[in-house]
Amino acid sequence: MRAFRFESLVLPPEADAMRRKVRAFLENERAQRYAAHRSSWSTFDPEFSRRAAAAGFVGMTWPKQYGGGEHSNLERFVVTEEMLAAGAPSGAHWIADRQSGPQILKHGSERARGLILPRIAAGECYFGIGMSEPDSGSDLAAVRTKADRVEGGWLINGAKIWTSNAHRVHYLIVLARSEPPSENRHAGLSQFIVDTSSEGIEIRPIHNLSGGHEFNEVFFRNCFVPDDMMIGKPGEGWARVTGELAFERAGPDRFMSDIRLLVELINQIGAEPTERQAIEIGRLVSHFAALRRMSSSIAGLLERGESPATEAALVKDVGTAFERELPEIVRKLLPVEASLDDPDEYSQALAHVLLHAPSFTLRGGTPEILRGMIARGLGLR
């Protein structure tokens, strides 16, 4: 069997030190500012983001020159999982920190780096992902948004959909067709950094199942993007986007979205569970612990500069299966009906998770698509 690159990884001492630091920060934040059971990494709170950045928890791995902290990926991993475990409202800076920033650092122009990265690291600049379109979700190579060359840059025309936070972020990284379609579906695509305050952009809200407005439709009409806001070279878009997805798929956010529900459940059950409760919780914890090690070993691969796309797909698939299963199990362990406006925290947490659960296995790529990638890694395609 072709081996996947998961290696045993023991977190180094500097990661432990970082854990203590971020815990102290989060304890203070939680005491004053947010309800853990009701927020998650997708909760958008610019004030929180600025404070987290000021404390050194955004752009952690980037060079000092761009406002980064020059920490290792493993230290960043620890901060990520602590934020998730604490239910910190990190949604404003999350995408910029997780994938847009690293993408710009690696493949952006010098001007883009200097202009954007320090602001992300300061917790003041947020990003959205402009990949999906009405007719291209799973089949990303089918994007139709066009980029046409003009003097000094490109004109973007087309539409994106499901763009999380488009209405409150400063930039989108947009995947567009910069050459007419050809035999090779993956050729002729490019990624652009698009300023959401540019002319020719219209953003329309879409409401989700929990009543929230998180994602949007975005329309581009002759929206100008200067040359140096292209990521990489023209035509490299497919390689860039798949590289970016490895960042999007491998982190602990892919199995910890609803971890606060597990915490609340344990609180509700108390110190003396029934046999059935103990067994079910034990099972969930064993899954969780294994996922955590898979994800940390990917942080180790990233630290070595590798791009573990297949392993990331594997973590996302196994991780979101866990996220989806969690509310289905916990609802059977206690007779509590879920309600978003019940003052009881557990009822609220359950309602919140139930209504968000269908999205866990969609955002960032569906299991059906990820399993195809895994099968390729297994030598079946």
Ligand X SMILES: Cc1cc2nc3c(=O)[nH]c(=O)nc-3n(C[C@H](O)[C@H](O)[C@H](O)COP(=O)(O)OP(=O)(O)OC[C@H]3O[C@@H](n4cnc5c(N)ncnc54)[C@H](O)[C@@H]3O)c2cc1C
One-character DSSP codes across 313-356? HHHHHHHHHHHHHHHHHHHHHS-----TT-SSHHHHHHHHHHHH
Interaction between residue 31 and other proteins (CB under 8 A): no
How many amino acids of this chain bind other proteins (CB under 8 A)? 59
Binding mask 240-259 for other proteins (x = CB under 8 A): -------------------x
Nearest CA to 163 out of 100, 120, 237 is that of 100
Stretch that binds other proteins, among 94-102, 226-234, 323-331, 372-380 (CB under 8 A): 372-380
For 48, the token pair is 């929180």
In the bound state with ligand X, the residue whose beta carbon lies nearer, of 67 and 87, is: 87
Nearest CA to 189 out of 264, 119, 242 is that of 242
CB of 135 to ligand X, least distance (A): 8
Q: Which does 285 bind (CB under 5 to 8 A by kind): ligand X, other proteins, none?
A: other proteins
In the bound state with ligand X, the residue whose beta carbon lies nearer, of 212 and 235, is: 212
CB of 137 to ligand X, least distance (A): 2
In the bound state with other proteins, the residue whose beta carbon lies nearer, of 46 and 372, is: 372
Compute the distance between CA of residue 169 and CA of residue 194 in angstroms, rounded to an integer. Answer: 11
Residues 308-347 that bind other proteins (CB under 8 A): 314, 317-318, 321
The end-to-end CA distance of the chain, in Å, is 14
Residues 53-82 that bind other proteins (CB under 8 A): 81-82
Residue from 105, 262, 302, 353 that binds other proteins (CB under 8 A)? 262
In the bound state with ligand X, the residue whose beta carbon lies nearer, of 226 and 372, is: 372
Interaction between residue 4 and other proteins (CB under 8 A): yes
Interaction between residue 267 and other proteins (CB under 8 A): yes
Residue 270, sorted as left (phi over 0), alpha (psi -120 to 50) or beta, turns out to be: left
For the chain, state the CA radius of gyration. Answer: 21
CB of 151 to ligand X, least distance (A): 29
Compute the distance between CA of residue 88 and CA of residue 45 in angstroms, rounded to an integer. Answer: 9
For the chain, what's the residue count? 381
Compute the distance between CA of residue 357 and CA of residue 281 in angstroms, rounded to an integer. Answer: 19
For 120, other C-beta atoms within 10 Å of its C-beta total 29
In the bound state with other proteins, the residue whose beta carbon lies nearer, of 161 and 370, is: 370
Strand partners, 174: 130, 192
Question: C-alpha dihedral over 47, 34, 40, 332, to 10 degrees?
Answer: -170
Interaction between residue 24 and other proteins (CB under 8 A): no
CB of 320 to other proteins, least distance (A): 11
Q: Which does 332 bind (CB under 5 to 8 A by kind): ligand X, other proteins, none?
A: none
Binding site for other proteins (CB under 8 A): 1, 4, 6-8, 10-11, 16, 19, 81-82, 85, 259, 262-267, 269-273, 275, 277-283, 285-294, 297, 314, 317-318, 321, 367-368, 370-372, 374-375, 377-381
